[in-house]
C-alpha cells in the first residue's frame, strides 16, 4: 500500500507490490511472445497486452467490492455458470473436436473458466454456513460433492480434461481446508486407482494417447510424443543462461509446436535458460504467497477458505503447466497464466486476483476500524 497526500486514497490503498509483480510477469510474457513470433509485433503480443490491461483494470475495480457483496453473489454466480455449462452442451460452438464455447456474437465465451473461481467461492460460502460441529457429518459432505461433481461432469464431456482437473482440484482444496475427514479424499483416490483400467477405457482416444505418451514418451516421438520431446530439447538446450533473446531455434524454426500457448515455458527456457525459468517461478511463488497471506490474515471462515482456494487456483495453473512441459504429467492443455497466449487463463487469474485484493482490502478496513 502506498501512502501519499498526492495520490488519491483509493489508489494509495491498492496492493501495488502485487500489481507490479503481476505486471512484471505479464510484461515478461509479452517479451516471450514477441520472440516466439520471430521478433515482430505479431497479433499474439498485441492482443495479449490488450487483454491483460483490460482485466487488470477489472481486477482493480473488483478490489473495492466488499466481502459481504461477494458472499451475496456467490450462489447466483455458481447457478449462472452452471446454466451456461448446460447451454454449451445444447448450443455450444464446436471447434477442434470440442464443444466448449458459447458464441454470443461479439464475444466467444468459455463458461468452464468462470467455474474455477465460482466453485471456490461456492464451497467456501457453503462451509461457512455449516456449523463446526457438523463439518465431519455426511450432511456437510454430500452437498459439496454434488456442487463439485455436476460442473466437473459437464466440463469433462465437452471434452475438456484439463479444465475438469483444475475445477476438481480447486474444489477439493477448499473441502480439505474446511476440515473434512481424510477418508473423503483417500476413498475416491483408491477407487479410481482400482478402477483405472475402466476409467482409461472410458476416455477419448486423444486422452488415452496422452497418457500412453506420458508413460512412454519414446513410443511415438514423431507423433503424439513430439510435443514433449521437442519441449525437453528446448528446455535442455537453454542451459544455465539461455541462448539469448530472439535466439531460440526450437520455436523460431517451428520444431516446438504450440510454443506460444501451452509450451511457452519451453520457448522461454530456451532463450532465458535456467536463470530465467527460476526467476519466473519465484515471481509466481511470490504472488501465490501473497494470496495465502490474505487467507491467513482473514478474520472470517469464508475469507480464509476463499483466499486459499483462489491462491490454489493460480498454483495449479502454474504447477500443472510446468509439469506438463517437462514431461512430469500428461499433456492436458493447461496454459501458463499471464505468459501463454490466450485470454481465458488471463481472465481467470485476474478475476482471482481481483477477489483476493477485495478480501485483502476488507481486512485492512477492519483493522483500521479496530
Look at 155-159, 314-318, 323-327, 366-370 and tell me which has the smallest mean pLDDT: 366-370
Q: Would you state the cell numbers that stand for residue 250, as one nine-digit string? A: 526450437
What's the rounded Cα separation, in Å, for the pair 299 and 284?
A: 25
pTM, whole model, 2 decimals? Answer: 0.89
Q: Are 315 and 353 in contact (CB under 8 A)?
A: no
Closest alpha carbon to 11 in 65, 60, 81, 76: 60
pLDDT band at 99, cuts 50/70/90?
low
Question: What is the structure's pLDDT at 317?
Answer: 93
Question: What is the structure's pLDDT at 194?
Answer: 75
Q: Would you state the cell numbers that stand for residue 307, as one nine-digit string? A: 483466499
Question: What is the structure's pLDDT at 366?
Answer: 60
Q: Are 248 and 231 in contact (CB under 8 A)?
A: no
pLDDT in tens, 31-53: 888 888 776 666 677 888 899 99
What's the rounded Cα separation, in Å, for the pair 188 and 205?
A: 24
Please state the rounded mean pLDDT for residues 136-143: 88
pLDDT in tens, 105-133: 656 678 888 999 999 999 999 999 998 88
Question: What is the structure's pLDDT at 369?
Answer: 47
**How long is the chain?**
370
pLDDT in tens, 50-72: 999 999 999 999 999 999 999 99
Max CA distance (Å), the chain:
65
Q: How many CA atoms are closer than 13 Å to the CA of 261, on its beta-carbon side?
A: 10
108-109 and 98-103 beta bridge pairing = antiparallel
Residues whose CB falls within 8 Å of the CB of residue 233, separated by 6 or more in sequence, listed in order: 250, 255
Q: Which residue has the higher pLDDT, 181 or 126?
A: 126
On average, the pLDDT of the chain sits at: 84
Q: What percent of the chain has pLDDT over 70?
A: 80
User: What count of other Cβ atoms lies within 10 Å of the Cβ of residue 287?
Assistant: 22
Evaluate if residue 232 carries a pLDDT over 60.
yes
Amino acid at each position: 500500500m502506498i501512502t501519499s497526500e498526492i495520490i488519491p486514497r483509493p489508489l494509495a490503498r491498492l496492493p501495488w507490490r502485487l500489481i507490479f509483480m503481476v505486471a512484471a510477469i505479464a510484461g515478461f510474457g509479452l517479451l516471450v511472445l514477441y520472440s516466439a513470433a520471430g521478433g515482430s509485433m505479431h497479433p499474439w503480443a498485441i492482443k495479449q497486452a490488450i487483454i491483460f490491461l483490460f482485466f487488470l483494470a477489472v481486477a482493480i475495480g473488483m478490489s473495492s467490492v466488499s466481502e459481504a457483496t461477494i458472499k451475496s453473489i456467490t450462489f447466483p454466480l455458481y447457478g449462472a455458470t452452471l446454466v451456461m455449462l448446460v447451454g454449451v452442451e445444447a448450443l455450444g460452438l464446436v471447434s477442434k473436436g470440442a464443444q466448449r464455447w458459447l458464441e454470443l456474437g461479439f464475444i466467444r465465451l468459455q463458461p468452464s473458466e468462470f467455474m474455477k473461481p465460482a466453485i471456490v467461492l461456492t464451497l467456501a460460502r457453503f462451509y461457512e454456513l455449516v456449523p463446526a460441529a457438523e463439518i465431519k457429518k455426511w450432511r456437510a459432505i454430500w452437498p459439496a460433492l454434488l456442487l463439485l461433481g455436476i460442473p466437473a461432469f459437464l466440463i469433462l464431456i465437452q471434452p475438456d480434461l484439463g479444465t475438469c482437473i483444475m475445477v476438481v482440484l480447486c474444489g477439493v482444496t477448499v473441502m480439505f481446508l474446511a476440515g473434512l475427514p481424510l477418508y473423503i479424499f483417500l476413498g475416491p483416490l483408491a477407487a479410481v486407482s482400482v478402477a483405472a483400467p475402466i476409467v482409461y477405457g472410458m476416455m477419448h482416444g486423444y486422452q488415452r494417447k496422452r497418457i500412453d505418451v506420458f508413460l512412454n514418451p519414446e513410443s511415438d516421438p514423431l507423433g503424439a510424443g513430439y510435443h514433449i520431446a521437442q519441449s525437453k530439447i528446448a528446455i535442455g538446450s537453454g542451459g544455465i543462461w539461455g541462448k539469448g533473446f530472439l535466439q531460440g531455434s526450437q520455436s523460431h524454426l517451428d520444431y516446438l509446436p504450440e510454443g506460444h500457448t501451452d509450451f511457452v515455458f519451453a520457448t522461454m527456457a530456451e532463450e532465458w535458460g535456467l536463470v530465467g525459468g527460476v526467476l519466473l517461478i519465484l515471481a509466481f511463488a511470490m504472488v501465490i504467497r501473497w494470496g495465502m497471506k490474505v487467507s491467513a490474515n482473514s478474520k472470517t471462515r469464508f475469507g480464509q477458505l476463499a483466499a486459499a482456494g483462489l491462491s490454489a487456483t493460480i498454483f495449479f495453473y502454474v504447477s500443472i503447466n510446468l509439469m506438463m512441459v517437462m514431461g512430469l504429467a500428461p499433456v492436458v492443455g493447461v496454459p501458463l497464466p499471464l505468459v501463454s497466449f490466450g485470454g481465458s487463463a488471463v481472465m481467470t487469474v485476474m478475476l482471482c486476483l481481483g477477489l483476493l485484493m477485495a478480501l485483502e482490502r476488507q481486512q485492512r478496513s477492519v483493522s483500521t476500524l479496530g
